[in-house]
């Protein structure tokens, strides 16, 4: 049984930001990443929370793989299309800088595509889409990662874990958010299972020779994950490669090559967003959020016990009330990083 220590959210953000700044991030970058990483921990998205700090720090020290001081470059390419060159910095920082311009485009056009390239993402996508739904928009986002998933019928990794996240506003409730890797599980969860000495479900992945395995260490050590749902999940992972590696001008997961940068952990890829003002599609019909509530009602009537995103919202409420739970092991890791 793991021991958890509770830490106030703002204190956690400040401590993570200070570690990132001490490892070369510009103050504003450290603040954005610290907030992102603490928010994942707050929401119970542990595969992309405090556990990732070691990866951030070793990546920042991996001979220029990522630029913690990059200033993203915004390119207004069409009325409904905003491109951002992350300048080899972090994707969430590029998003932070592009957010207002993207919102203005949706306001003017009813929808917008935001395409971010040349950047690194190590976070939970729910945090990228939910703020747009807080503004009344539908947001759909894709990001590719590094080759760690076998294509359908294959035996070696060619796709990333490639998550898809979706957020929609609701009436008198927090946004409905789903956020899911297109692999059977996130690679971060495989790494956590390997650390904790757990075995995985059968059919989750293959070892470095392409043989099925339930050993997380075999998957981490040169093996690969399967896509969720067989050919269907693999097709979604393929779509994410197109939406990120091809559409935004980023790398395909297979093209991410960390070999020249020992210690680097961040995928250097692309991220795309489709943002929609839902009322634009409704005209004089009753409000969009009323229809969303009709649907939620049908699902609950049909026996759905919880909606996607509910667990994260509940974890967030608990964290904000009682402090963010961080395992004693991860706290010790943070303290070691703070000592430098």
Q: So which residues are the catalytic ones?
A: 47-48, 189
The sign of the torsion formed by the CA atoms of 248, 232, 191, 217 equals: negative
- From the list ligand NDP, ligand PYC, none, partner contacted by residue 45 (C-beta under 5 to 8 A by kind): ligand NDP
For the CB of residue 209, give the shortest distance to ligand PYC in the complex, in Å: 21
For the CB of residue 73, give the shortest distance to ligand PYC in the complex, in Å: 23
| CB closer to ligand NDP out of 182 and 277 | 182
| CB closer to ligand NDP out of 17 and 41 | 41
Q: Which of these, 235, 51, 85, lies nearest to 152 by C-alpha position? A: 235
Helices (H) and strands (E) in the chain, counts: 11, 13
- Considering only 312, 324, 325, 334, the residue that binds ligand NDP (CB under 6 A) is 312
- From the list ligand NDP, ligand PYC, none, partner contacted by residue 308 (C-beta under 5 to 8 A by kind): ligand NDP
Q: What is the footprint of ligand PYC within residues 273-332 (CB under 6 A)?
A: none
Site mask for ligand NDP (CB under 6 A), range 106-135, x = bound: ---------------xxxxxx---------
For the CB of residue 203, give the shortest distance to ligand NDP in the complex, in Å: 15
Q: Tokens for 4?
A: 């958890």
Q: Residues of 16-54 as b/e, b for ≥16 C-beta within 10 angstroms? A: bbebbbebebbeebbbbbbbbbbbbbbbbbbbbbbbbbb
Q: Is position 45 an interface residue for ligand PYC (rule: CB under 6 A)?
A: no
Judged by CB under 6 A, which stretch of 16-24, 182-190, 211-219, 323-331 contacts ligand PYC? 182-190
- Residues constituting the chain: 340
Per the CB < 8 A criterion, the answer to whether 56 and 122 are in contact is yes
Q: Residues of 159-175 as b/e, b for ≥16 C-beta within 10 angstroms? A: bbbbbbbbbbbbeeebb
Question: From residue 35, how far is each of 18, 58, 124, 184, 257 by CA, in Å?
Answer: 11, 19, 12, 27, 28
User: CA–CA separation, 99 vs 118, rounded Å?
Assistant: 17
The sign of the torsion formed by the CA atoms of 239, 243, 249, 254 equals: negative
Q: What is the footprint of ligand NDP within residues 267-296 (CB under 6 A)?
A: 267
For the CB of residue 25, give the shortest distance to ligand PYC in the complex, in Å: 18
Residue 83 phi/psi, 5-degree rounding, is -105, 145
| CB closer to ligand NDP out of 196 and 310 | 310
Site mask for ligand NDP (CB under 6 A), range 226-245, x = bound: --------------------
Per the CB < 8 A criterion, the answer to whether 175 and 309 are in contact is yes
DSSP 246: I
| CB closer to ligand PYC out of 192 and 307 | 192
Q: Footprint of ligand NDP on this chain (CB under 6 A)?
A: 45, 47-48, 121-126, 143, 145, 161, 163, 165, 178-181, 185-186, 188-189, 267, 306, 308-312
Q: Footprint of ligand PYC on this chain (CB under 6 A)?
A: 47, 122, 145, 161, 181, 186-188, 267
């Amino acid at each position: 049984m793991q021991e958890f220590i509770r830490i106030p959210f703002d204190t956690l953000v400040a401590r993570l930001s200070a570690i990132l700044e001490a490892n070369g991030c510009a103050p504003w970058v450290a603040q954005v990443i610290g907030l992102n990483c603490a928010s994942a921990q707050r929401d119970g998205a542990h595969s992309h929370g405090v556990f990732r700090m070691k990866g951030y720090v070793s990546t920042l020290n991996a001979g220029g793989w990522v630029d913690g001081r990059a200033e993203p470059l915004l390119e207004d390419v069409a009325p409904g299309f905003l491109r951002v060159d992350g300048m080899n910095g972090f994707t969430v920082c590029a998003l932070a800088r592009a957010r207002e311009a993207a919102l203005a485009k949706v306001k003017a056009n009813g929808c917008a595509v935001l395409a971010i390239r040349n950047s690194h993402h190590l976070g939970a996508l729910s945090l990228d889409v939910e703020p747009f739904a807080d503004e009344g928009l539908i947001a759909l986002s894709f990001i590719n990662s590094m080759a760690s998933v076998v294509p359908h019928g294959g035996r070696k990794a060619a796709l990333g874990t490639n998550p898809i996240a979706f957020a929609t506003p609701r009436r008198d409730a927090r946004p409905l958010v789903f956020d899911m890797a297109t692999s059977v599980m996130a690679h971060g969860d495989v790494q956590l299972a390997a650390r904790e000495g757990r075995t995985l479900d059968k059919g989750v992945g293959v070892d470095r020779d392409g043989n099925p395995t339930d050993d997380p260490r075999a998957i981490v050590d040169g093996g690969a994950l399967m896509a969720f749902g067989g050919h269907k999940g693999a097709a979604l992972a393929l779509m994410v490669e197109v939406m990120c590696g091809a559409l935004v001008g980023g790398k395909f997961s297979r093209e991410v090559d960390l070999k020249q940068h020992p210690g680097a952990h961040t995928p250097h890829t692309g991220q795309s967003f489709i943002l929609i003002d839902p009322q634009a599609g409704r005209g004089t019909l009753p409000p969009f959020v009323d229809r969303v509530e009709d649907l939620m009602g049908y699902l609950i009537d049909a026996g759905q016990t919880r909606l996607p995103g509910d667990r994260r919202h509940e974890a967030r409420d608990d964290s904000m009330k009682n402090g963010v739970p961080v395992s004693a092991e991860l706290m010790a890791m943070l303290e070691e990083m703070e000592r430098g």
